[in-house]
């Protein structure tokens, strides 16, 4: 019983400390990594970044850019994209690996990919119909996300 109390107290202290070190704050667009700004200019040339934020956690920093059309792009510390969410319109086709685009076109013709995320196992895409699909790093279909 004492061990359980000790364990719960330790977990509470660690989670509180982790929250204290997390820092999620707005930043000027100029403070985004150069690669992130170049990505937006290349793939969303008709849109401007209207909001940027930086999320600093224990050992990593992530960035987010919101565009004037409502799209959201998340980046890692070097400015590489992690997630592109265009909500109700298709993500730029060049961001979707060919194998994934071919699978979606074959199984779900005329339904746009509105969100793509890089995951440890590969990719996750969300279709306009709110269906989430998972793919491995080679673009092979793994399954549906709950």
Q: What is the pLDDT of residues 29-54, one digit of tens each?
A: 999 999 999 999 999 999 999 999 99
Nearest to 102 by CA among 129, 133, 71: 133
Question: Per-residue confidence at 22, pLDDT binned at 50, 70, 90?
Answer: low
| pLDDT at residue 7 greater than cutoff 60 | no
**How confident is the model at residue 1, as a pLDDT?**
55
- Ranges assigned E (strand) in the chain: 23-27, 49-57, 60-67, 72-75, 81-85, 113-119, 122-127, 132-136, 141-144
CA dihedral sign, ordered 41, 56, 68, 73: positive
Number of CB atoms found within 10 A of residue 76's CB: 16
List, in order of start, the domains of the chain with CATH numbers: 22-144 (3.40.1420.30)
Q: What is the mean pLDDT of residues 1-30?
A: 61
Q: What is the pLDDT of residues 63-88, one digit of tens each?
A: 999 999 999 999 999 999 999 999 99
User: Quick check: 62 and 75 in contact, CB under 8 A?
Assistant: yes
């Amino acid at each position: 019983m004492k061990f359980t109390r000790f364990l719960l107290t330790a977990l509470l202290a660690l989670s509180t400390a982790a929250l204290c070190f997390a820092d999620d704050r707005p930043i000027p667009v100029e403070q985004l990594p150069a690669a992130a700004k170049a990505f937006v200019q290349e793939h969303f040339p008709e849109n401007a970044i209207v909001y940027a934020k930086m999320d600093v956690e224990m050992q990593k920093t992530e960035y987010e850019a919101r565009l004037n059309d409502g799209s959201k792009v998340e980046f890692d510390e070097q400015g590489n994209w992690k997630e592109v969410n265009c909500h109700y319109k298709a993500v730029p086709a060049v961001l979707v690996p060919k194998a994934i685009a071919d699978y979606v076109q074959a199984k779900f013709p005329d339904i746009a990919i509105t969100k793509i995320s890089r995951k440890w196992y590969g990719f996750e895409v969300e279709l306009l119909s709110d269906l989430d699909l998972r793919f491995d790093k080679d673009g092979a279909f793994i399954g549906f996300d709950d």
